Amino acid sequence: MKILGMISGTSFDGIDYFVGDFAIDGPVITMTRIDAGSMRYPDSLHAKLVKALPPAATSAFDMCVIDTLVGQAFARTAQEVAVRNPGVELVVSHGQTIYHWIDDSGRAQGTLQMGNPSWIAERTGLPVVSDVRSRDVVVGGQGAPLVSLLDVLLLGQSNRRVGALNLGGISNITVAGGGEDPVAYDIGPANALLDAVIQRVTSGRLSYDQDSAMARLGKVNTKWLAEFLAEPYYAQEPPKSTGKELFNLDYVERITGPATEGRGPDLLATLTELTCVTVMNEVRALNLDVLYLAGGGTANPLMMERMKALSGSTAVELMSRLGVDPREKEPALFALIGLLTIHGLPGNVPSCTGAAGPRILGSITPGRGPLTLPPIHSEPITQLVIA
């Protein structure tokens, strides 16, 4: 079955997509990559998201506009990709996370992703799976990191304890193998704070620090770093999740003062070090043999250098060693979740998200024709093979 998965992450700069050809044989899913890439949001939509997302205040009107515009952007992307790849049967849309509600006890109470799937279904004529996080939250899970599903199916057969790290807006880790139950959780900020700072200090001229150019001009401010590391979130026990509701520009400026152009290099150098230190603190505590990296942060050369320098005895590899392009992992995950959903199979890993049990994820919006689902697959899935 050929499936298109799409997501816009916490950097909210565009839509990552992945088309995979999936086959289920007993407990094994085989995934063959067909196409993948990214399409940027229009500047006007990106600007609306900047003004509406945490820590900004917003209105019901703003949310309605964003839900429509994000839905239309996803629909355009889905149509272009489906036309280029005839035979796509299903679209899976994560949409754009607007807010992830964690209460004072650390429990997820709600999660909101926008991008009305009806726009996608109408434009492509295909059924759409969306709202994939909510069901896990309803049964006591964090709704994140859902990417633990792909990691566990890919790495769970290992006789060693191995980790998979995703460096998106937030860093999250999955630990699997070694005959133990898998675990996963959000570690802390990755690109979210870096992107917020460079957008502020360049007045929006740059959306990210390409090739770590500005960060390399700066020095790590040890006082700032110590204050960042004192954040109580890091001491919480997993499962746990976080997002821009906590880690945003206001959070940075409460510690460093205003993010001015002159402070830009030192801020970026310090925040890069923060990501690397918080990640490698966890890796050492978990005693991992190997750590596989994915996500947009893998394109940050300074971050990669510092990760390896701090990794100790843990081997650090890109996810591409396993056949998954580091920047395609998340949209591939959502294509995989869609496959499970329409076959009546759970898409969460309870030991990773904290959910009360396995659940079928998402809601299905029919395409233009009658909604026809494949037969239920009754055998649990235990392995993912990359063809």
3-state SS, 239-301, equals: CCCCCCCCCCHHHHHHHHCCCCCCCHHHHHHHHHHHHHHHHHHHHHHHCCCEEEEECHHHHCH
- Which pair of tokens denotes residue 131? 């709202």
Report CA 232 to chain centroid distance, whole Å. 22
User: Domain check: are 316 and 356 in the same one?
Assistant: no
In the predicted model, what is the mean pLDDT of residues 218-224? 98
User: Domain check: are 34 and 117 in the same one?
Assistant: yes
Confidence of residue 57 (pLDDT cuts 50, 70, 90): confident
pTM for this structure? 0.95
The number of helices, as runs of H, and strands, as runs of E, in the chain is 12, 13
The DSSP H or E segment spanning 352 is helix 350-353
Considering its fold, how many domains does the chain have in total?
2
**In this predicted structure, what is the pLDDT of residue 54?**
83
CATH classification at residue 304:
3.30.420.40
User: Domain check: are 174 and 127 in the same one?
Assistant: no
**In this predicted structure, what is the pLDDT of residue 79?**
98
* Residue 93: burial class (beta carbons within 10 Å; 0-12, 13-18, 19+): buried
The DSSP line for 317-348 is: EEGGGGT--TTTHHHHHHHHHHHHHHTT----
pLDDT digits (tens, 9 = 90+) for 240-261: 999 989 999 999 999 999 999 9
- Whole-angstrom distance, CA of residue 242 vs CA of residue 219: 27
User: Domain check: are 260 and 380 in the same one?
Assistant: no
**In this predicted structure, what is the pLDDT of residue 11?**
76
Q: Domain ends where: 322, 337, 363?
A: 322
Which residues, in sequence order, are bridge partners of residue 31? 22, 386
- Which pair of tokens denotes residue 341? 């959903």
User: Domain check: are 173 and 133 in the same one?
Assistant: no
Which residues, in sequence order, are bridge partners of residue 156? none
User: Domain check: are 8 and 142 in the same one?
Assistant: yes
- Whole-angstrom distance, CA of residue 325 vs CA of residue 337: 18
pLDDT digits (tens, 9 = 90+) for 67-120: 999 999 999 999 999 999 999 999 999 999 999 999 999 999 999 999 999 999
User: Domain check: are 303 and 181 in the same one?
Assistant: yes
User: Domain check: are 262 and 308 in the same one?
Assistant: yes
**In this predicted structure, what is the pLDDT of residue 149?**
98
User: Domain check: are 168 and 315 in the same one?
Assistant: yes
Domain interval for residue 178:
157-322
User: Domain check: are 21 and 96 in the same one?
Assistant: yes
In the predicted model, what is the mean pLDDT of residues 18-46? 96
At 273, the amino acid letter reads: E
Decide: 46 and 70 in contact? Cβ < 8 Å. no
Token pair 């510690």: residue = 255
